[in-house]
Chain A
Amino acid sequence: MASRSSVIVRTVLAHLAAALPSARFGLASAPVRRAAWARGLRRAFERLGPAFIKLGQLISVRPDEFSDELVAEMRSMQDAVPPLPAEAIRSVIEAEFGAGPDELWATFDDEPLASASIAQVHRATLASAYRPVWGETLPAGADVVVKVVRPGAAASIRADIAGARRLAGLIARTRLARRFDPVALLDEFATTLERELDLRVEGRFSDRFLFDFRDDPKVVAPRVVWPRSTARVLTMEFMRGWRLTEIEAAKAAGVDCFGLAVHGATAFMRQVFVYGRYHADLHPANLFVTPENTIAYLDFGIVGYLTPEERMNITQVMAALVYRDADRAMRYSERLGVHVPPDRIEAVRAGLGTLLDGTTRPDGTRDFAHFGLGFLSLLGEHGVRIPSGYGLLIKSLATVEGVARALYPEIDIVATAQPFTTRILGAAMGDPARLRERMPEAVRAALRVLLA
């Protein structure tokens, strides 16, 4: 363990040292220096393996917390990890099934389709038809992908989490981090990584997602082939399309990026507000736009869950954001477990008011990340503990905003949520339990309009 730690430190130092000449030994201008350090860190992360690559991805979707240079570098790492030789992948498959790829699939492509942090993905075709949990039957010969956990990934990730803690401290001191706590981020990250190592969890969620969105032809996810899946191997439908990093190609092919950005954001709101389960790892490599003008969600490795109670309270916080109502935001955040000590309430409310007023960008659209992440750090400044689910949700919303903006820079994510929160609050009014609670108010409001 000690030796792994020193490998980590040595690797990082070596790559930072290699960056010294381009940083002109610290004499170059700040952006040039930061770019050189960022490149060094990215190379070190790639060398150090899965846990670090995953950490890099996390950084790449938080432009609000890290410098532009670091985000740009880490983004280039998102999906490009040096591939493992096919032999290594074949032997994992052999160990899992007691049979080789040639017996399990009609064809198996030794050339990887993608090599990501935890898994490597290969194309294959089905030997026989399979009726998935939800959706149409996949015929024999159907294009599938086989996602295989990298051998040794589990062990090395567990070992590296410990080492990464040191590094997180190091990053905090390089001013590459803006206003966040890398160690806290890492804790959250460690708990979610564990679940990601069993691919069946991911497969089940993909099925569930297909069911949840069964009435929405614009939102798709891969169908899972269960007889060819284990904890370390997941066989699923091959999805055709462009990653969000290849958006220019998609536009050229006539994909309606604005429509998809709005639709994708709405689909996310639906996951949060209606189903209470949401894809919490939406970095740009995990989302495709397809030639059929649909959005394909991939990689359900990290998922957030919300109770109906929490959903209602979150809807109210969103409504507060729309109304710019600091009191409402405070009241419902309290119900979500954000306990502000009495002597801090006034200060937090004032800070919140400023935030709510400042969420409008120069072009008139609203900036959710500014509000959400600003709220988190406001709470942090006042020593308020943030419930982990709340943090994950706000970060996910901020990510969705980032992803939607990649598709269409002028999108206002708060505006896309508005008709939606209206609907949710409206539907909640029809809920018998709530009706009893709110009847007089609802009736009065309805009469006011209906009889105007």
Chain B
Amino acid sequence: MTDDVMRFFAAWMLTHEVADEGLKAAVLRGDEGGTEGMSGGADAFVDGLAAMVAEEKEKLKRDLEARARGEEVAIEQPRDPALEEVRFEVAELRGRLDNIESLLETLLRKLDR
């Protein structure tokens, strides 16, 4: 969801890029904010946000250019986090099964004695 919002801002920014000098200044300030940070209060915070959107915008621009060149869009589609989470949980379950299986082997070994 958050990604969508960022992507929306990014698209908005991309279309306005040429026109908006104020925006560029904000991004610049936001980028520099890495060290100066939020000490400037809420304004600096918004600058930071603008810089984040700018990052996203660069990605979007690369996508669009790739598409214009007719390339298969090679950018790693950010995978669905929910799906990734499930994938991990299944893997974790497999780990537990491996563990239980070895416990069974141990029990069998002990019975054999």
> Given the complex of chains A and B, what is the CA–CA distance between A319 and B48 in angstroms?
13
For the complex, is A4 an interface residue (Cβ under 8 Å from B)?
A: no
Against A, the Cβ 8 Å flags (1 = close, 0 = not) of B25-50 are: 11000000111011101110111111
Q: A419 to B46, Cβ gap below 8 A?
A: no
Q: A226-B102, A227-B102 are in contact. Are A418 and B42 (CB under 8 A)?
A: no
Q: Are B109 and A418 in contact (CB under 8 A)?
A: no
The answer to whether B14 has its CB under 8 Å from any CB of chain A is: no
How far apart sit A229 and B105, CA to CA, in the bound complex (Å)? Answer: 12
Interface residues of B (CB under 8 A from A): 1-2, 4-6, 13, 16, 20, 22-23, 25-26, 33-35, 37-39, 41-43, 45-50, 52, 88, 91-92, 94-96, 98-99, 101-103, 106-107, 109-110, 113
Consensus secondary structure, chain A interface: helix
Which residue on chain A has the smallest CB distance to residue B26? A449
Contact of A415 among B5, B35, B96, B106 (CB under 8 A): B35
Q: Chain A residues near B113 (CB, 8 Å)?
A: 98
What A residues does B92 contact at CB under 8 A?
133, 204, 207-208
Residues in A with CB closer than 8 Å to B38 are 319, 322-323, 418, 421-422
Contact B5 A450 (CB under 8 A): no
Question: Shortest Cβ distance from B84 into chain A, in angstroms?
Answer: 8
CA distance A270 to B17 in the complex (A): 31
The chain B residue sitting closest to A230, CB to CB, is B103
Q: Which residues of A contact B1 (CB under 8 A)?
A: 430-432
| B37 in contact with A422 (CB, 8 Å) | yes
The 3 closest A-B pairs by CB, nearest first: A418-B37, A452-B22, A430-B5
> Are A200 and B52 touching (Cβ within 8 A)?
no
Residues of A within 8 A of B41 (CB): 323
Cβ of B42: which chain A residues have Cβ within 8 Å of it? 445
Q: Check A228 against B91 for contact (C-beta < 8 Å).
A: no
A-B contact list, 5 entries, CB within 8 Å: A226-B96, A230-B106, A418-B38, A423-B48, A426-B49
A224–B102 Cα gap in the complex (Å)? 14
Q: Does B48 lie within 8 Å of A422, measured CB to CB?
A: yes
Q: Which residues of A contact B (CB under 8 A)?
A: 96-99, 132-134, 200, 204, 207-208, 211, 224, 226-230, 319, 322-323, 415, 418-419, 421-423, 425-427, 429-432, 435, 445-446, 448-452
Within the complex, the shortest CB–CB distance from B76 to chain A, in Å, comes to 10
Q: Is the CB of B34 within 8 A of A448?
A: no
Interface centre among B2, B22, B41, B50 (most CB of A within 10 A): B2
B5 partner residues in chain A, CB cutoff 8 A:
429-430, 435
Assembled-state Cα–Cα distance A284/B41 (Å):
35
Complex-state Cα separation, A133 to B25, whole angstroms: 46
Complex Cα spacing A200 to B99, Å: 10
A95 to B31, CA, bound (A): 58
Which residues of chain B are near A323, meaning CB under 8 Å?
Answer: 38-39, 41
Complex interface: chain A residues within 8 A of B50 (CB): 449-450
Among A132, A211, A418, the most chain B Cβ lie within 10 Å of the Cβ of A418
A449-B46, A450-B50 as given contacts; A419 in contact with B37, CB under 8 Å: yes
Contacts of A423 in B (CB 8 A): 48, 52
Contacting residues, chain A, for B94 (C-beta < 8 A)? 133
Contact of B2 (CB < 8 Å), options: A224, A319, A431, A446: A431
Docked complex Cα distance between A68 and B50 (Å): 45
Residues of A contacting B98 with CB < 8 Å? 226-227
Instruction: Report yes or no: A449 in contact with B91, Cβ–Cβ below 8 A.
Output: no
Q: Is the CB of B99 within 8 A of A227?
A: yes
Do B49 and A451 touch across chains, with their CB atoms under 8 A apart? no
- Which B residues lie within 8 Å of A421 (CB)? 38
| CB atoms of A426 and B52 under 8 A apart | yes
Question: Are the C-beta atoms of B22 and A449 separated by less than 8 Å?
Answer: yes
Contact residues in A for B106 (Cβ distance below 8 Å): 96-99, 230
Q: How far is the CB of A94 from chain B (nearest CB, A)?
A: 10
Complex Cα distance A247/B45, Å? 36
- What chain A residues lie within 8 Å of B13 (beta carbons)? 450
A214 (CB) vs chain B CBs: closest residue: B84
CA distance A432 to B4 in the complex (A): 11
Beyond A98-B107, A445-B46, A450-B16: 5 further Cβ-contacts under 8 Å?
A204-B92, A230-B102, A322-B39, A430-B6, A450-B26
Pair A419/B34 contact, Cβ less than 8 Å: yes
